[in-house]
Structure 1
Amino acid sequence: MAGISQAELARQLGVNKSTITYHVKRGLTHAQIRELIKARRKENPAVEAAASGVEKNAPVAGEGVAELRKKKLAAEVTYK
């Protein structure tokens, strides 16, 4: 996958771009980052469910940032 950007790799893997940047700075190649993230998801299925958008608070098309923040805050308050 020569020439793929960090942003595109992040989108494909369902992670934040800063996650990719962190691993690149540590010296990992894009292929190694893919393997690492896939291995971590196998170890922790909850991460896989969250990354695939299966979570109950998944964003709906057209939903604004303010609504997403409210949902996140409500989920954090409920969790604690």
Structure 2
Amino acid sequence: MGFLDSLKAKLGPAKEKVSGLAQQHESKIDQGLDKAAGMVDRKTKGKYSDKIQSSTGKAKNAVGRIAQKDEGGTPPPPPAPPAS
């Protein structure tokens, strides 16, 4: 067994645990992301609002994909690029 195979075998259980936790606490994670984004937006006085919203959306989508893997469903499609 090669190094990468050994590493994958060791990380498998951790990956499943993370997926389960993401599924179980998805709403709390989303709320935390919103709270952090709001704080950063206030600290930067709205200067980077569009980038903060975009990044928050991408983070929420990633959490959703991780949570979906545990359910055995297909992950949601990636978010549409922001309108310029």
Q: Would you call these one fold, judging by a TM-score over 0.5? A: no
Structure number, greater radius of gyration: 2
TM-score by length of 2: 0.25
Higher relative contact order structure (alpha carbons within 8 Å, sequence separation ≥ 6):
2
TM-score by length of 1: 0.26
Which structure has more helix as a fraction of its residues? Answer: 2
